[in-house]
Amino acid sequence: MKVIVTRTLKNIVKIKYDNGVLKVVANCFLSQAKLKRIIAENSEWVASKKQAEKNNLNIVLKEEKTAAKSNNVLFDSVLDSEIIKRIFAGKTTMILGDIVNIEESMYSKTYLDGNTLYISEKVFKNKQDRIKAVKAYLRKVAALYLASEISEFGSNVSLCPSKIQFKELDGVWLNCADAGQKVLTIDYRVTQLPQELRRYIIAHAFAHFRNAVHDEKFENYLSNIMPRYKDTERKLEKYAFFKDV
Ligand SMILES: [Zn+2]
């Protein structure tokens, strides 16, 4: 059975069975092993859903369509101009596709609580300092979470990078020339993007392990591991402004 896992900052595990696919929403720091255990523990429930779906296939398909529609609405509203302004002011950011507001705290350490990133009062006063603190936090998310996402993807396609490094890159999300040498040089700000877009950037990087340039062979391989990647490329354009923050 196909399992799609979406990671979130929220401290939840949600399992939904839909048209032969198990859709799981789970906290980003919950380990893969623990998640597998939770799914196994719910196998009876999944089996019952499978049976119910067989009986009621048409209704489920209709629900699926409605859900897809509302997801698109959410995707567009994420980037309204007010939020973009706040992002440039260092008052809002995105972490793993979730909008996160930035607030001051009496503690000196930067920490995330739900959908709020707290930074110290002193740092919060100045716009440049706020942005610097957010970037430092995103670097941590890259080292803690993005790195494991990359390793997981690599093991799925049986490719292993010789080195993974996170940098601030000019105008691009990853260094394609490095990827051709099996070195993953990825902009740590990728941690702001939703899962689908992070996945595209990782897939693109791994596709360069086989083909250094963007030729037909490269595109064929990429579409094998990510069939709708052209759509994802277009969605990614909406997030280009993150490179200017
Ligand atoms: Zn490339």
170 shares its domain with 61: no
What is the Å distance from ligand 1's center to 151 Cα?
19
pLDDT the model gives residue 45: 81
- pLDDT class for 40, splitting at 50, 70, 90? confident
Domain holding 209, by residue range, is 81-244
What is the Å distance from ligand 1's center to 173 Cα?
10
pLDDT the model gives residue 63: 54
Total of domains in the chain = 2
What is the Å distance from ligand 1's center to 171 Cα?
13
> How many helices and strands in the chain, by DSSP H and E?
11, 9
Do you know the residue count of the chain? 245
46 shares its domain with 117: no
67 shares its domain with 136: no
What is the Å distance from ligand 1's center to 169 Cα?
14
Looking at 77, 102, 119, the residue that finishes a domain is 77
Tokens encoding 88: 């440039």
47 shares its domain with 116: no
Element (H, E) at 7: strand 2-8
pLDDT at residue 126 greater than cutoff 60? yes
Tokens encoding 143: 């080292």
86 shares its domain with 191: yes
pLDDT at residue 57 greater than cutoff 80? no
User: How far lies 130's CA from each of 92, 166, 218, 241, 243, in Å?
Assistant: 10, 20, 40, 18, 16
57 shares its domain with 166: no
What is the Å distance from ligand 1's center to 117 Cα?
32
Q: What is the pLDDT of residues 192-218, one digit of tens each?
A: 999 999 999 999 999 999 999 999 999
The C-alpha angle 75, 96, 72, rounded to 5 degrees, equals 10
190 shares its domain with 107: yes
pLDDT mean over 2-31: 80
Q: Is 224 helix (H, G, I), strand (E, B) or coil?
A: helix
pTM exceeds cut of 0.85: no
pLDDT at residue 76 greater than cutoff 80? no
Looking at 41, 56, 77, the residue that finishes a domain is 77
71 shares its domain with 89: no
193 shares its domain with 225: yes
What is the Å distance from ligand 1's center to 204 Cα?
6
Tell me, what CATH number does 235's domain have? 3.30.2010.10
